[in-house]
Structure 1
Amino acid sequence: MKTIGKWVLLLVVVVTVAVTLVSFYYSQFKQAETTQITTKTNPPVQTSGVKHQAPEPLTADIPIIPPAQVRPLIGINVNELHYEDASFPFVDLFRQSAPFKANVLELPDADKVEYDSQGWPLHLHGAKIATKFIGKMPPEALVEGDYVVLYDGTGSLSYGHGVEAISQSPNRDVIRLHKGEDGEINASLLINSMDDKDPIRHIRILPPGGICQDNPYLRVFTQADCQSGAAYLPFEQYYPSIRFTPEYLNYLKDFGTIRFMAMSGITRNPESHWSERPNMQEATWGGGYGERGAPLEIQVDLANRMQANAWFNLPHAADDDYVRQFATYVRDHLNPQVRIYVEYTNEVWNTSFSHSEYTQKKGIEAGFSINSVEAGYQYYIKRAGEVFAIWEQVFGGRERLTRVIGSWDTRPDISKKLLGEYAGAQIADAMAIAPYFGGNTKGYRESTTVDQIFDLTTAPDSFRSLPQVLEHVREQADIAHHYGLKLIAYEGGQGLVDWATREASQQPNPLFFAANRDSRMGELYTQLLNGWKDAGGELFMAFSSPRTCQWFGCWGLKEHIRQPRESAYKYNAVLNFMDAHRDWVLDTASPVQVVPSNQVNLPEEIPAEKKPHHPDDPLIVFRPAKDPERYFFLENPRTLDTLIAGQEWAKRDLFGKWEGKWDENYLYLTVRVYDESIKTDSENPEDDDSIEVYLDADNSRKASYDGVNDYRMIFAWGRKQVILDPKSPQTISSDLSYELKTTADGYVLEAKIPWKMLGVKIGVKSRIGVEVQVNDDDDGGKREQKISWLAREDNAMNDPRLFGVVLISGR
């Protein structure tokens, strides 16, 4: 009997445990599944079960408020998602944090951590991980008070920089934000430990307050603030339904069109398949190039809430299925009453972007030209036409679409090629440029007062001054209208920036910041917009949403989302212009040819002539080498982009950039080569991977080498010293030094060449002849291809007239 009693007791225990487990399972997981089916706005789907989680959010219908006034042809570019973004688009601050994988705090052993496909940690393996969710932010940009951190899973969180933990309990912390010694707010979050069976995920960082249900444009803090009697919706409970901060929506409500290029994260992003796009389940949408990007669902939702026209940019490598899926989602979910601007990639002419390199590579592969820039332009038009055709097919016509071709504001010659020679006008409705004023970098560096900055920005003879930019606008309008297209601006505004700087404190940055904070800048914006409208320009997309002033520019109309209108002179000027031009609205009809053909310089067929350049025609400048740590830093490089030997060119396997700097003793030369394979098996260095540098030190530019100071130098892998062409002087100075170093995607040459060896004394305004070329061997044996900077034939080893002229600059 005792034995039977023991078995009965054991059976009761087993049944009790089983019932408990089943009950727990249904209370936790099945309840979560049911919630995901029935709620209107869901939290990110988990990749594995979570045992402990914060309370499910509540849902509410947020009304869409019609625009209070007619919105004229002024739109806005919304920003990339990053922890330094001062526009704060999302109620959940974690949406713009850096991915944990990026390890922005550079914690040790972080590379040991395993992550799921959405970026949440699965196993820490004894390491800690961290992210930043606010960076370099003025305190007034953020609302004071208690911020709530919610998370699912089991583990330990801590906080860094200016974050104070007020209270911590399972799945809910309360924090406050404080400025640091530099007067700015920085904020970070760390995961110190966690239960691998119940890992931490779905982190949300929610600010104080909420909204009244009938007014998504105003932050309030209690039910008493909702004087209309509408329900008070706290952010902590209703964050998925509210989604966007009221300050952000209030800022956007005045703009009739939103351009999502930066927010979508397409810049330097290699995604090509629909499955690679940003998605709603990702841990964060912030990060660096190639990481960040708001899902299309977010872009469409924002446009719908604002009842704004939407401008979408398709990634440069997107395949046809990606384009079709994108267009289909927009067709099915975007407000059918708004207009859609479709643009393939962004700024293909800008060689600092990988999408420029991509289009050039594809153009070379298609055989459009031996010059990669020209080939890239032609491929751009071809692919843009294919993208537009897919959208037209999905929408069943072009009634809602404006097909956009982008061009360079100060290069009407490129516009003529794109629209005329390459037939872009046949596939597009509008040509878009970016009229930025303020580009006299040399003058700005010599300036000591803000008055001088404004003088240079408005002087007719100053480079990229406002008068010059408006003259370009008039010329570009004539070109667009001649081809029956509208002229619109994909970006525009002031462009005060010195790309050679790296710190906000470096001159002339403090003067740039002061100029942007001066009421005179608002006056210039008024002149810009009036000049644009008077020239025949239409939709003008200002750049950009609020962002702080940093070394790379003061691009925001406001410096942060909460800056008052009266102190944000650029923003105030734009709103005042809109108030004065409420009748300047969208005309969906295409313009007729309004410019007689004899008043427009039509594009001509320009053959790839191999004529020598004139000796007195400088093409670029060499700037002084002042900082030893930056002698070989590429600050304003030139591209090696012309195929002069070989039949095929895979540009990712062969591409280059180069730059020269100088002082009274040396020429400092940097050549950066992108090459997937380095070969050193040939007796002839030209048949291996190598760099050829051509120098005509006195710029005599004769038809043959003079034997005095005309040099052809070959820097080849596996050689102990530089190789001189037999036609060059054969003395190698002991002061000549160089290093060939491998990089993650190729190699780099850093050479220090003494002027004494070249037989010249160099000073400001001196001229020298230069050419740079790269040999490429992919499989051993003979060279496969060769690319150049300037020469369009492989004969620079015989003819110095194929070199380019370089001016020695004092700045």
Structure 2
Amino acid sequence: MFENPFPPQLTLLIMRLSLYSCSHGYQRCPSGCHWNGHCDTTRGHCTCYDGFYNTDCSGDCGCNGYGYCKQDHTCECENGWIWSSIERKCIWDCQCPNGIKCMGPGICDCDPKHPCKYGTCYNSQCECWEGYKGDTCSIYDPNIMANRNVNIGINLGGITYYSSEIKFTDIAKQSQSWLSERTEGAHSHEWDSHEESTVHWRNDGYPADLPPTMRLVKLMLRNFGVHAPRGNYTILYDGEGDIGIKLVKNHIYYKGKGRMVVYLEPGSGGVLVELLRTNPHNPLHNLRVIFPGYEYRYERFPFYPPFLESLVRYSEMRFMDFLRTNGHTPEPTTWDSRKSLTFHTQTGSNGAAIEHMIHLANIIGSDPWFNMPHAADDNYVTQFATLVKKTLRPDLKVYIEYSNEVWNGIFRQTKYSQERGISLNLDSQSWRAGFKYYNKRSTEVMKLWKKVYGSAHDKLIPVWAWQTGYQDYTRQALEDLGSRSQEFKALAITGYFGCDKLAAKHAAELPTMSFQQMAQLCKDDMPNIEASYRHYMELAKNHSLKLLMYEGGPGIVEAGAIAHGSHQQSVTEKAIAFNRHGMMEVAVTDVLEAWRNVTSISYNSPPGGLFNYFSSAGTPSKYGSWGMLEYTGQPLSSVPKYRAVHKFMAKYDGHDYVAPKCSFVKMSASTFAGCFIQNDQSKCGTTDISHPRWTTYVNLCVTGSICVADGYNPKTRNLYIRAVDEMAGSTYFIIDSAHSDHMTK
């Protein structure tokens, strides 16, 4: 009889390990591939990343993520990179004059003695924020701002992985939170094994380690995929681990350590990124998935250009959804709980990074409207105000509002305010306790901001907002506010129009109505809407407040859909179709005109003003067609709601400024390209300063458009020109400056 030489505990361990090896076919890869390759655990085989060699991937050719191993184990570097025999690795191929540093392959930084003040340096030139000019973007000129004199603002859409509004060139910023999956066992075929709570998470939202049979996945570009560019996406990460791609047609052209180049054809399902494994001693983090063409610009220019283009004419941007104000978490909200720039995603219930909001306002030159979270403590509010004061450009004002629609029972902040009001003995009735707490806390918030701004508090526009539909409710709330109204500068209301409750009172006949009949109901309802505006104008006047609109636009949606998701499909489809129809342009124009008729009245107290459209972009659904655009990059002139708003701006702004009248880029030490106005016609061309004659490019700037010289690539000798029409829509051109007849659109 066989005698077991091992103690019982060790025998049990050996049996478990044997069973695990047999049942999983698991074989350890040599040295774990040194984290320089992908480990096939079923065969115990390493597939080395580009730039590494040996069976255990221990050999490093020094490619640095930008080249391929040669036979002598040096690297054949990618275009833009060169082999350094001194450093034994690929480095930037960049020759900058006068001791100026490189900032990328073939990309020179700006002169450190003359840094960009209100702009961003790229390839030796300062790209100025709207309204600034000069070599260092230090000269402020309001006359060159696209939103000069505009009195229309925009509510930005929220940040979600399924949003149709893409804000960033690094789409990982709009990715889903991590979900767990099992690669083996009973749960291996499940979409989400619901084990996220068992993972040891770092502060930046990446796992510190992973069990061998668990992977993490996250979606991005869901719904927007059909509008996303096809091409070579760059995936970058720090640390060590292994990344995979699913749910999308893809081809990996390059897979180095820390860098992948993958051809993607995104669809409506989006892109699924897998974190297959991570080194517990150097965990994978700072994952970036970058749109084609932005690998060397995304850090300094994080926002997606079509997104910026759609915003450039608005004088104010409300960041309510951007900050996830409705139901913001945690409670209490502390400064340490805010979203950081380095977190794995900018989605989630604690909102996006405040720095992104400030940066966006700086670029566009639009006054930011910030909504303080309902459970924010005093330190959060103070630190928020301090950051804004320190980093927001000096010509902008700041709108401040406590939370959003604290009266609205569908949001957590309503219940919170009522709970706080009752606990503080403000009132025994929850609805009254709610508005009394709102008055108390919103007043405290405004005082905190004013304390931070000190003598510069005139830059602040504290906003008081309450329910618009029930006028007596707002009257009671204002009466409770009393003399504290002096802490505010504006009363804000909504300006939605439902065309005589088209999707409610007329729901039965709506599916068979003609668009003309629907438009007539909108027209007939305008006197009621204008009467509401006049009521609140008078109320604001009586309290020496300016009248503003915090949200407004088409609100043709079934109430039941918003409250609890119930809807009639035929009603939803007709409401969406009407929002897309040319008649909607007339309806939006009418409500803008009604607002102007009321708010342009002058009197001794502050007059009315800002119409804040809701919202910038969003996918139509049973919950409403709130987005002015349905997706980022939608052809602007094809959207009736966009046409109405921007034609209204052009009509009353008193100017047609949508782009700089002259712009220049440096091509060499003596050669420049530029666009300018000549004989009332926008033209573009090149010149040499030693022989100042212009060679112009034809058929670029059609009548009514302004051409802008956006940039020059010295490697490809491509010149980038943008033609901007009267509604701020852009057409882009790439000109081969070596062969001026070679042009792509």
Q: TM-score, normalised by structure 2?
A: 0.63
Is the contact between residue 59 and residue 241 of structure 1 (CA under 8 Å) also seen in structure 2?
A: no
Query: Any conservation in 2 of the 1:58–1:237 contact (CA below 8 Å)?
Result: no
What is the alpha-carbon distance in structure 2 between the residues aligned to residue 503 and residue 376 of structure 1?
28
CA distance in 2, matches of 1:511, 1:418: 38
| Deviations 1:131-165, CA, capped at 9 Å, x for gaps | 111112262x3223221111223332222223424
- Which residue of 517, 534, 554 corresponds with 2:580? 517
Alignment of 1:413-424 (within 5 A): 413-423=472-482
Quote the sequence identity (%). 28
In structure 2, the CA distance between the partners of 1:362 and 1:390, relative to structure 1 (3 Å rule), is same
Partner of 1:651: none
Matched residue SS, 1:208: coil
Quick one: structure 1 residues 127 and 111, their matched pair in 2 at CA, closer, same or farther if it must change by over 3 Å? farther
Determine the C-alpha separation between the residues in 1 that align with 2:220 and 2:292.
16
1:63 corresponds in structure 2 to: 128
Within the alignment, does 1:277 sit opposite 2:338 as a pair?
yes
Query: CA 1:434–1:69 in structure 2 vs 1: closer, same or farther (change >3 Å)?
Result: closer
Q: Structure 1, residues 678-728: CA drift from partner, whole Å, max 9, x if none?
A: xxxxxxxxxxxxxxxxxxxxxxxxxxxxxxxxxxxxxxxxxxxxxxxxxxx
Match for residue 76 of structure 1? 154
Match of 2:359 among 301, 310, 314: 301
State the alpha-carbon separation in 1 of the partners of residues 302 and 402 from structure 2: 28
Q: Return the match for 1:286 from 347, 352, 365.
A: 347
Q: CA deviation at 1:110?
A: 4.5
Q: Displacement of 1:347 after TM fit?
A: 0.5
Task: Give the structure 1 partner of residue 239 of structure 2.
Answer: 153
Residue in 2 that maps onto 1:442: 504
Are 1:443 and 1:456, in contact at CA under 8 Å, matched by a contact in 2? Answer: no
- 1:479 aligned to 539, 547, 569, which one? 539
The offset of 1:178, in angstroms, is: 3.4
Answer yes or no: is the 8 Å Cα contact 1:77–1:258 preserved in 2.
yes
Q: What does the per-residue CA deviation read over 1:298-348, in whole Å, with 9 as the maximum and x for residues that have no partner? A: 111111111111111111111111111111111111112111111111101
1:530, CA displacement in angstroms? 0.5
What's 2:281 paired with? 197
Matches of residues 581-600 of structure 1 in structure 2 within 5 Å?
Answer: 581-583=652-654
Q: Secondary structure at the match of 1:545?
A: coil
Separation in 1, partners of 2:554, 2:150: 21
- Asked if 1:187 is matched to 2:271, the reply is yes
Quote the residue 1:566 is aligned against.
Answer: 637
CA distance in 2, matches of 1:142, 1:450: 35
Tell me: CA distance 1:194–1:163, structure 2 relative to 1, closer, same or farther (3 Å). farther
Counterpart of 2:370, as a letter, is F
Partner of 1:98: 176
Q: 2:627 aligns with which of 551, 556, 564?
A: 556
Q: Is the 8 A contact 2:616 2:627 kept in 1?
A: yes
**Is 1:258 aligned with 2:317?**
yes
Q: Say if 2:504 and 2:558, in contact at 8 Å, map to a contact too.
A: no
Structure 2 match to 1:358: 416
Change in CA separation of 1:109 and 1:185 when aligned onto 2, cut-off 3 Å: closer
Q: For 2:205 and 2:244, locate their aligned partners in 1 and report how far apart those are by CA, in whole Å.
A: 19
The reply on whether 1:316 has 2:374 as its aligned counterpart is yes
Residues 208 and 505 of structure 1, relative CA distance in 2, 3 Å threshold: farther
Q: Aligned with 1:269: secondary structure? A: coil
| Correspondence 1:340 to 2:401 | no
Secondary structure of the residue aligned to 1:580 is helix
One-letter identity of the residue aligned with 1:532: W
The 3-state SS of whatever aligns with 1:396 is helix
1:469 paired with 2:505, answer no
Residue 504 and residue 302 in structure 1: after superposition, are their counterparts in 2 closer, same or farther (change >3 A)? farther
Q: Is 1:543 matched with 2:614?
A: yes
Residue identity opposite 1:254 in structure 2: R
Deviation at 1:469, TM superposition (A): 2.8
Q: Distance in 1 between matches of 2:516 and 2:509?
A: 10
Instruction: Kindly tell me the number of residue pairs found equivalent between the two proteins.
Output: 505
Are the equivalent residues in 2 in contact too, given 1:433–1:489 (CA < 8 A)? yes
Query: Which aligned pairs between 1:732-743 and structure 2 lie closer than 5 A?
Result: none
Cα RMSD between the aligned structures?
3.1
Please give the per-residue CA displacement for 1:554-602, whole angstroms capped at 9, x wherever unaligned. 1111111111122111011100000011159xxxxxxxxxxxxxxxxxx
Structure 2: gaps (5+ residues): 1-58, 63-86, 92-100, 105-120, 132-144, 182-189, 600-607, 656-745
Change (3 A) 1:117 1:541: same
Aligned match of 2:678: none
Q: How many angstroms apart in 1 are the aligned matches of 2:196 and 2:123?
A: 37
**Is the 8 Å Cα contact of residues 231 and 265 (structure 2) preserved in structure 1?**
no
Looking at structure 1, the residues matched to 252 and 508 of structure 2 have their Cα atoms a distance apart, in angstroms, of: 50
Q: Partners of 1:187 and 1:540 in 2: how far apart?
A: 37
Residue 243 of structure 1 pairs with residue 294 of structure 2: no
Distance 1:371 1:583 in 2: 50
Rounded Cα–Cα distance in structure 2 between residues aligned with 1:446 and 1:420: 41
Q: Which amino acid aligns with 1:363?
A: G
- Aligned residue runs from structure 1 range 653-802, under 5 A: none
Q: Which residue of 2 aligns with 1:86?
A: 164
Q: Which amino acid aligns with 1:434?
A: T
Q: Which blocks of at least 5 consecutive residues in structure 1 are unaligned?
A: 1-19, 32-37, 42-56, 210-234, 585-811
**8 Å Cα contact 1:522-1:569 kept in structure 2:** yes
For the residues of structure 1 that align with 2:626 and 2:512, how far apart are their CA atoms? 18
Paired residues of 2:225 and 2:270 also in contact (CA < 8 A): no
- Measured in 1, the distance between the counterparts of 2:225 and 2:648 equals 28
| Mapping 1:16-55, distance limit 5 Å | none
Paired letter, 2:537: A
For 2:277, give the aligned amino acid. S
What SS class does the counterpart of residue 270 from structure 2 fall into?
strand
1:280 to 1:500, Cα distance in 2 relative to 1, 3 A: same
Pair 570,131 (structure 1): closer, same or farther in 2 beyond 3 Å: same
Matched residues in 2 for 1:84 and 1:567: separation? 23
Give the partner amino acid of 1:171.
G
